[in-house]
Amino acid sequence: MTEKSLRVLIIGSGGREHALLKACKASPLVAAVAVAPGNGGMEQEAICYPLNVTDVHAIVALAKRLDANFVIVGPEAPLSVGAVDALVAEGIPVYGPNKAGALLEASKTFTKDFLMRHAIPTAWGKKFTSSEEAVEFLAAQKFPIVIKASGLAAGKGVIIAEDYDAACSAVYDMLDEKCFGNAGAEILIEEFMEGEEASIMLMVSEDKYVMLPASQDHKRVGDGDTGPNTGGMGAYAPAPVVTPEIEKAVVETIVEPTLKGLLADGIRYRGTLYVGIMITAEGPKVVEFNARFGDPECQVLLPLLKTDPVQLMYDCATGTLDPSKVEFRDGFNIIVVLAAQGYPSTPRKGDIISFPSKLPAGTAILHSGTEREDSGDIVTAGGRVLGVVAHGATLATAAQNAYALIEKIRFEGMHFRRDIGARQLKRDGV
């Protein structure tokens, strides 16, 4: 591939897509980059086109109108409705799995069957569509136990039930009350795994892959992992909790059998495979797969690549990936998410954000939920508003750099966690 040969279209509107946009802007391969639908921050750096990301026809039409020769799909929703299949049918290379591959995220029962069939370590699980049968099964189980809506439920479809009664009400809510709509029409009852969680993202091209450094995110809204779940309040990478021994076990018992299993099942996977693991006393086990980069994990991982991430994504899309050539930077990256008043329940919109005039080296402010007003002001427009990313030789300096920058950002009702990376910092003795 030659310099300035790619006309890229990025699909999505969050912090992850802003990080992808920055990678495209820094890549010598990219001649032009557009985003759809984008957000207020991305509008300052690229042309953003309105788009309903689950409208496959609209995605294809836009890619053709822009004469895009590479599309990067950020979120899961367009993947799960077959956006990639439709673009590929038009001859456009795409980074992101096809509809069959995206089932690894879109159906937890499909994934449990896949994992068990290929003997990949995970919690045992059993699927149900009848609440009567599920409740009968629960009567003979130990607690806590995990109840999961099978489909896409925006990170809200998993209940850890401490006892029989809580488990039964989760079952009734999902199967009978349809609290997650169709996403909960089938549920999974699954063994509770004890351990520490980490995420490992792979850039996959069928049988070949690049494994990115392990990361840890922080799902609860409050310090010390308290309060309700969110889309993610911060992350850091590399995560030393994934030791070289654990990483080796992940490769041998999870990654390689998964990629072999996909091919054996006729699924040609090209894109990010996000492996959520629980580090248990028996070794790492799969919690879930996602079919795209995590948000906010993507924002700390891409800047750790010394190799051009756009080159890697394009090579995955076109089947030309050479994992032996990939290089990483030293040090740690951290991201702290700045959330709007009321997030995660009812985030307030329209608060004006003030930014520092200059960014220190090794830092970035990525936009998630922002809009640009006609006046030029950037205002809050979503729950997770901004992501503050910083690099450091150690995790402690990365954290210091991020929190120092946050001091210079302001909007009404802004809240964030002050303990991103704290578990690891404690282990490091900081």
Ligand X SMILES: Nc1ncnc2c1ncn2[C@@H]1O[C@H](COP(=O)(O)OP(=O)(O)O)[C@@H](O)[C@H]1O
Stretch that binds Mg ion, among 132-140, 277-285, 286-294, 413-421 (CB under 5 A): 286-294
Kindly determine how many residues on this chain lie close enough to bind ligand X according to the rule CB under 6 A.
14
**Is the CB of 119 or the CB of 264 nearer to ligand X?**
119
Question: Least CB distance from residue 136 to ligand X, whole Å?
Answer: 21
Distance (Å, whole) CA 246 – CA 239: 12
Ranked by CB distance to Mg ion, the top (closest) residue is: 288
**Is the CB of 17 or the CB of 288 nearer to Mg ion?**
288
Q: Which of 79, 165, 161, 147 is nearest to 109 (CA)?
A: 147
Ranked by CB distance to ligand X, the top (closest) residue is: 288
- Which of ligand X, Mg ion, none has residue 430 at its interface (CB below 5 to 8 Å by kind)? none
Question: Least CB distance from residue 290 to Mg ion, whole Å?
Answer: 7
| Three-state SS at 388 | strand
Question: Least CB distance from residue 227 to Mg ion, whole Å?
Answer: 17
- Which of Mg ion, ligand X, none has residue 60 at its interface (CB below 5 to 8 Å by kind)? none
| Residue 239 CB contacts under 8 Å (≥ 6 apart), including other chains | 198, 213, 214, 215, 216, 424
Give the one residue of 48, 267, 287, 312 binding ligand X; rule: CB under 6 A: 287
| Residue 324 CB contacts under 8 Å (≥ 6 apart), including other chains | none
**Radius of gyration from C-alpha coordinates of the chain:** 21
Which two tokens mark 133? 């049968």
Question: Least CB distance from residue 353 to Mg ion, whole Å?
Answer: 28
| Three-state SS at 26 | helix
Distance (Å, whole) CA 171 – CA 173: 6
- Which of Mg ion, ligand X, none has residue 193 at its interface (CB below 5 to 8 Å by kind)? ligand X
> Residue 193, interface with ligand X (CB under 6 A)?
yes
Angle of CA points 376, 382, 386, to nearest 5°: 70
- Which of ligand X, Mg ion, none has residue 297 at its interface (CB below 5 to 8 Å by kind)? none
Question: Least CB distance from residue 15 to Mg ion, whole Å?
Answer: 17
Give the one residue of 76, 190, 247, 315 binding ligand X; rule: CB under 6 A: 190
Q: Using alpha carbons, list the distances in angstroms from residue 338 to 5, 16, 66, 181, 404.
A: 36, 14, 33, 30, 13
In whole angstroms, what separates CA 42 from the centre of its chain?
Answer: 19
- Which of ligand X, Mg ion, none has residue 419 at its interface (CB below 5 to 8 Å by kind)? none
Using a 10 angstrom Cβ sphere, with 0-12 exposed, 13-18 middle and 19 or more buried, the burial of residue 207 is middle
Stretch that binds ligand X, among 61-69, 192-200, 316-324, 415-423 (CB under 6 A): 192-200
**Is the CB of 7 or the CB of 219 nearer to ligand X?**
219
Map the footprint of ligand X across residues 129-188, applying CB under 6 A. 146, 155, 157-158, 160
Which two tokens mark 210? 């690049």
Residues that bind ligand X (CB under 6 A): 123, 146, 155, 157-158, 160, 190-193, 197, 276, 287-288
What is the binding site for Mg ion (CB under 5 A)? 288
